[in-house]
Amino acid sequence: MGDFLEGGELNEEHLSPEECAERLAALPCEVVLVAGNHDTYGFEPFAERWRQLGKPLHALHGEAIAFGPLVITGFPCSFGNDSFFLMGRDSKSMDVDEWLPAIGARHGRAMRSLWLMHEPPARTSLCPPDG
């Protein structure tokens, strides 16, 4: 998911980052996150509360995680500021040819795969010519 912290209309009530972590952590499944353009300043308190709840933080940025035969690949977000979401990791290029082949080589042909992204990766057949 992306835009899970600060999205929506200005007049809407929003959960705090900590409340968001508590609600998502209560789900009876693993939660995998990718950055959206609205997931900036609130991500640090979200991640801190998430860890306090004892849940593994799967915040993917040009990375993949496998759950049995399912491989989930999280794409970077080209909008906004992803520095909060990275938590000290290096930012990945928006050019998927620079990092996606390594994921395929590491995980092989997955029986099931899911690409998780906030928007289609730029300069690929998934993205319209005007971006």
Q: How far apart are CA 87 and CA 44, in angstroms?
A: 8
For 16, 37, 53, 55, the CA distances from 6, given in Å and listed in that order, are 9, 9, 21, 21
For the whole model, what pTM was predicted?
A: 0.81
pLDDT along the chain (131 residues), means of 10: 59 79 94 82 90 94 92 84 80 86 85 81 66 54
